[in-house]
Amino acid sequence: MATPPAGAPSVSIRLTVNGTSRALDLDVRTTLLDALRERLNLKGAKKGCDHGQCGACTVLVNGLRINACLSLAVMHDGDEVTTIEGIGLPDNLAPLQRAFLDRDAFQCGYCTPGQICSAAGLLDEAVRGWPSAATGDLTAPVTLTDAEIRERMSGNICRCSAYPQILDAIRDVAGPAS
Amino acid sequence: MSTTLEDYAAPNPISRNRSGIIGRAVDRYEGPLKVTGTAPYAYEVATPAPPIYGVVIGAEIATGRVSGVDDAAARASPGVHLVWHAFDPPSGQAETGARSYVGSQAAAKPVFATPDIAFFGQPVAFVAADTLENAQAAADLIRVRYEATPGEFVFDPAKAEPVPNDEARTGDFEAAFERAPVQLDLTYTTPIQNHCQMEPCATTAWWEGDELVVHTSVQMLKPPQHLLAETLQIHRSKVRVLSRYIGGGFGGKGSTYEDLELAALAARDLQAPVKIALTRQQMFLATVHRPATVQRVRLGADRAGRLSAFALQATTHCAKHSPFIERAANFSRALYAAPNRLTGHFLQRVDFPVASAMRAPGEASGMLSLECAMDELAELLGLDPIELRIRNEPDAHPETGAPHSARQLVECMTDGAKRFGWDKRNPRPGQVRNGEWLVGMGMAAAIRGNFLLPAKAAIRVESDGRVIVRQGMTDIGTGSYTIIAQITAETMGVPLEQVVVEIGDSGFAPAPGSGGQFGAASAGSAVYETGMVMRKTLAGMAAGDPASPLYGAPVEEIDFRDGLITASNKSETLASLVSRLAPAGVEVEGDSMPVAASRSFSQHAYGAHFVEVGVNIVSGEVRLRRMLGAFACGRILNAKTARSQITGGMIWGVGAALSESNAIDPRYGSLINQDLGGYLAPVHADIVDLDAYFLPEVDDKANPLGIKGVGEVGICGAGAAVANAVYNACGARIRDYPITPDKVLPFLPELV
């Protein structure tokens, strides 16, 4: 177990990260993003703005996507966290990762882990029937139209602007809208 | 090595493309790392020991000086290793501007060398601590005291001065404009824009004995290497700069910032790895931006639309301490024929943060004016905007008379128009209504200069047949890794899987890096030339080796294909040849120098944008409905990555037209938008049905690959096409970018 620096108030928590239980003694000021990146050496979640405006830090917590930069790690004792590394690794790409590669749905790659985690989250939200601002009938099952995908992905900025390619990649995995 | 234009045009492995690797939509070489988050960017590299975390503190005034720094609380804060500022600066730095030798690509840039403040956000203090949290907490405890002095915080074109030796005149513009039967005199303004690379600038540095190892996020490797050598007063051979994965550059990482020097200096003092990332707010203030422009366009034409007089004069600003000219008029010197011409720039030096290059510097701003003015002229004359442009298509460069290398601007416009369905456009504005949306179409031309810079590369063939190419090149998302692999594979006649690409290391054979859409041509040409050197080397080895089936074959008849080295019907693999004769591997270096005669051609990448927008009659909101770009950029190396470069650029144009804007607070000299909530770069929901394609082309005057840059031409003219579509939709001619609802609303029909 890693030890926190002297002088900082610390809390012990346990996270299940990508299926593995991890014990952490954490400076209470540590964000979930910094805990993943700097303490658990999972650099896949990116820091693009550090205040919830870009989406590069998107991870799944208990299956739901969140901005890891906006959440203190100590709030997640007992939670299950899935990062991009838990979705798939280079020798074992998940379908979304394969689709991003096929469709060239990234350029610099810095927002990509967040885009893919966000896409994984939205596919599940659609299954759960959660509406978005683009949903017409709030009570009907969600159909992932292009407008729905774009709306639900709009928290993830891609400055290289691979948006058309990202839509194509998500569409490949989501299947046709009809 | 190619030394003449004939060499460029001669058949070569790239133009023969026997295996078909050139042009193929190959997946990104480094893609599997990027889609799994396992590509280590500068802040993420594994360090030889636990890193110390640095935090930079920026000035809270724009002009004046730091009068004192209360740092006792920060120094006493848990985990703090050091605090630096102008009254306690790092030791061992050279004087500002010092150069140890004439050829140095950078002068010394010591940090905190003076308490003087030149712009809001300028780094004034630095804290390093054992954790990021401790460093941030300590940084919050630092109290910087200032003595502010008055500054100039307003961009006022009336105060701008002509740029010396810049104005270009052909014929007599004023007289011709005066005589022209049709005259337009229009002024357009564009705001400050920000790069907003998703990866903030970051550096991780450590020392290995007397050698400095620096991982940083930059577009070019040599300038930071030399800057560190000069600043730290060590020999450049002792500085290794690595930039293997870069989270976007767009021109903003063509400069370096204090994270670079501070990490190196702190690592030296602390004898430990140090890493520093700028915050998102610091990316706005303490790096660079595209300056605002005010552009006056004057067009004089006859009734048939032939331009007799053309002028574009652009006024812009830059920081007092850091000269930069946004040359928004330059592109127009090559675009349309007109016998009487005037172009030039005016500059106001103000106390703003630093202005510098952002994607397609010059064109990106300048085409927002001229390409809309051409639309206005077309309407005035009752001409189709494409027809107007065709009537002003020059046979050669309109000012120098230089012949075009390859120019398919007209083809881009006419072919793109067909694919887009331009014939369905109603030329009268405000005629197409779809519910509460007014729908319109617009188009614009695209032009961006093409460049070739000297570059080197090294290729190594291992005894197992792997071909390793090493180059001090960068990939900022452009696809450098991938096209270098493709060029190497096709030149060496081996499958892609046999090629290993290693770039982003200043220790490798130098290439100019990424910028000005010169990267692929410059680096790629050097890789090709080096491949040719390797072919000659291996051919000589095989022909001279009695154990080779190719023994005695004339070297010029030896070929490389399908992973084999062959002559007539005899062959062996690269692995068998190299493992037999040079088990340690064979390595060669090669280089590419631009052929002087190439510059006697007018060389540009071209395109045409077609846009359909909807304008909401209630809110004035403009929404993209579809967009298509047709481009001609020489040979395309990779259909997939090239298209992505172009569509990315087009989307930047949409942002420039509709949402991206920053401004200086006239009270404080700071940028008003300092985050991605205030600065509105396009998001998924903004971009609908957008695509681009390339016309077949080979530019055999450009380089031995016949390629031209694709990184910047996509943004050129894109925003103007959107603006022209807005006009066609609703009759709002907005000449003040971006086209926000408040500007559109007054033009919309009354709602009953």
pLDDT digits (tens, 9 = 90+) for B593-608: 999 999 999 999 999 9
Q: Do A163 and B651 touch (CB under 8 A)?
A: yes
Query: Which residues is B234 bridged to in the sheet?
Result: none
What is the pLDDT of chain B when averaged over all its residues? 97
Of A5, A54, A108, the CB nearest to B676: A54
Burial degree of B410 (CB within 10 A; 0-12, 13-18, 19+): middle
Chain centroid to CA B556: 40
Mean pLDDT over residues B229-252, rounded? 98
Q: In what order do the strands lie in the sheet with B437-449?
A: B433-434, B437-449, B604-616, B622-632, B690-694
Instruction: State the residue for tokens 């790409």.
Output: A93
Q: Do B79 and A6 touch (CB under 8 A)?
A: yes
pLDDT, position A9: 85
pLDDT, position B458: 98
Assigned token pair, B667 = 């009270």
* Cα-based distances in Å from B432 to B246, B418, B729: 45, 20, 7
What ipTM is given for this predicted complex? 0.97
pLDDT, position A1: 39
Assigned token pair, A42 = 């999972």
Report yes or no: B681 and B617 within 8 Å, Cβ to Cβ: no
Q: Do A46 and B247 touch (CB under 8 A)?
A: yes
Mean pLDDT over residues B151-171, rounded? 97
pLDDT, position A6: 57
Chain A residue with CA closest to B691: the answer is A164
Mean pLDDT over residues B643-656, rounded? 98
Report yes or no: A121 and B661 within 8 Å, Cβ to Cβ: no
Q: What region does B624 belong to: left with phi over 0, alpha with psi -120 to 50, or beta?
A: beta
Chain B residue with CA closest to A107: the answer is B477
Residue B306 one-letter amino acid: R
Q: Is B35 on the interface with A (CB under 8 A)?
A: yes
Q: Do B681 and A112 touch (CB under 8 A)?
A: no
What is the pLDDT of chain A when averaged over all its residues? 95
What letter would DSSP give residue B97?
A: T
Report yes or no: B360 and B713 within 8 Å, Cβ to Cβ: yes
Q: How far is B132 from chain A (nearest CA, A)?
A: 8
Instruction: State the residue for tokens 């469709």.
Output: A103
pLDDT, position B103: 85
pLDDT in tens, B608-619: 999 999 999 999
- Half-sphere exposure at residue B571, Cβ-oriented, CA atoms within 13 angstroms: 13
* Cα-based distances in Å from B725 to A3, B293, B741: 60, 22, 15
What's the pLDDT band for A7 if we cut at 50, 70, 90?
low
- CA dist B211 and B229 (Å) reads 11
Report yes or no: A23 and A1 within 8 Å, Cβ to Cβ: yes
CB < 8 Å to B640, chain A: 104
Q: Which residues 685-744 of B have a C-beta within 8 angstroms of A?
A: 685-691
- CA dist B607 and B261 (Å) reads 41
The torsion angles phi and psi of B67, rounded to 5 degrees, stand at: -95, -20
pLDDT in tens, B546-578: 999 999 999 999 999 999 999 999 999 999 999
What letter would DSSP give residue B750?
A: P
Q: Is A61 on the interface with B (CB under 8 A)?
A: no
Assigned token pair, B718 = 């894109």
Mean pLDDT over residues B624-652, rounded? 98
Q: Is B182 on the interface with A (CB under 8 A)?
A: no
What's the pLDDT band for A82 if we cut at 50, 70, 90?
very high
Q: In what order do the strands lie in the sheet with B64-70?
A: B116-117, B64-70, B143-148
State the pTM of this model. Answer: 0.98
Q: Do B78 and A102 touch (CB under 8 A)?
A: no
Report yes or no: B468 and B500 within 8 Å, Cβ to Cβ: yes
Burial degree of B448 (CB within 10 A; 0-12, 13-18, 19+): buried
For chain B, the first-to-last Cα distance in angstroms comes to 72
CB < 8 Å to B200, chain A: 47-48
Report yes or no: B447 and B717 within 8 Å, Cβ to Cβ: yes
Report yes or no: B44 and B216 within 8 Å, Cβ to Cβ: no
Chain centroid to CA B745: 35
The SS3 call for residue B390 is helix
Q: How far is A31 from chain B (nearest CA, A)?
A: 9
Mean pLDDT over residues B383-408, rounded? 98
pLDDT, position A8: 73
What's the pLDDT band for B102 if we cut at 50, 70, 90?
confident
pLDDT, position B750: 82
CB < 8 Å to B479, chain A: 107
pLDDT, position A177: 84
- CA dist B518 and B594 (Å) reads 12
Q: How far is B77 from chain A (nearest CA, A)?
A: 8
Residue A58 scores a pLDDT above 50: yes
Q: What percent of chain B has pLDDT over 90?
A: 98
**Taking the CB of residue B141, how many other CB atoms lie within 10 A of it?**
17
Identify the H or E element spanning B275: strand B274-277
- CA dist B384 and B377 (Å) reads 10
What letter would DSSP give residue B301?
A: E
Mutate to test the interface with A, among B77, B130, B198 (most CBs of A within 10 A): B198
Assigned token pair, A106 = 């990234």
- B750 is annotated as an active-site residue: no
pLDDT in tens, A107-151: 999 999 999 999 999 999 999 999 999 999 999 999 999 999 999
pLDDT, position B460: 98
Catalytic-labelled residue, pool B376, B589, B712, B750: B712
Q: How far is A93 from chain B (nearest CA, A)?
A: 8
Query: Which residues is B642 bridged to in the sheet?
Result: none
The torsion angles phi and psi of B415, rounded to 5 degrees, stand at: -70, -40
Q: Do B37 and A83 touch (CB under 8 A)?
A: yes
C-alpha Rg value of chain A to the nearest Å: 17
